[in-house]
């Protein structure tokens, strides 16, 4: 589906998976989603691609911290941290493994500066989709709880 670059649900999906799925499933979910996407869109420099995949696995691991406390400040804070880690890891990989930037501190800074528009989209995507995933899950649980209370009270 057409979308702004980096405005995707994958980081939020990884965070959500880390909060609610087994550790194995949580770590595999974003990787499988990315493999499917990359298969359709096209693969690219392996080392950079692996940094993207590793970043999403870090997001899954951040989700483990949500297992016992899914309060909104924590969800949004970890969504923000997930975007920051993705930005730092992937832009470092682009600097290190592509010919686009000189292999100097100045080149690294340039890589991070050029990545800022993508960071904004990553952050907004994480916040939006995390709100959707966690909000929908909480709403469904609330509705199911109310429905079971109605059924129990009618007996």
Q: What is the largest CA-CA distance in the chain?
A: 73
* Residue 79: inside a domain: yes
Is residue 83 within 8 A of residue 9, CB to CB? The reply is no
Structural domain tally of the chain? Answer: 1
* Residue 1: inside a domain: no
Cα end-to-end span (Å), the chain: 47
* Residue 3: inside a domain: no
Q: Would you state the structure tokens that stand for residue 29, as one six-digit string? A: 């979910």
Prediction pTM value: 0.87
Rounded to whole angstroms, the Cα distance separating 148 from 12 reads 29
Q: Which domain holds residue 28?
A: 10-153
* Residue 2: inside a domain: no
Read off the pLDDT of residues 43-71 as tens digits, 9 standing for 90 and up.
788 899 999 999 999 999 999 999 999 99
Read off the pLDDT of residues 84-128 as tens digits, 9 standing for 90 and up.
999 999 999 999 999 999 999 999 999 999 999 999 999 999 999
């Amino acid at each position: 589906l057409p979308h702004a670059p980096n405005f995707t649900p994958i980081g939020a999906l990884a965070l959500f998976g880390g909060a609610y799925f087994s550790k194995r499933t949580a770590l595999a979910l974003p990787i499988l989603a990315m493999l499917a996407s990359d298969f359709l869109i096209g693969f690219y420099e392996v080392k950079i691609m692996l940094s993207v995949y590793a970043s999403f696995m870090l997001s899954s691991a951040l989700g483990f911290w949500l297992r016992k406390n899914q309060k909104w400040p924590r969800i949004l804070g970890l969504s923000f941290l997930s975007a920051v880690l993705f930005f730092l890891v992937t832009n470092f990989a682009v600097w290190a493994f592509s010919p686009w930037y000189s292999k100097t501190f100045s080149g690294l800074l340039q890589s991070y500066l050029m990545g800022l528009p993508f960071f904004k989209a990553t952050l907004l995507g994480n916040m939006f989709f995390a709100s959707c995933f966690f909000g929908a899950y909480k709403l469904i649980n609330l509705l199911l709880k109310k429905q079971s209370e109605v059924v129990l009270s009618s007996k």
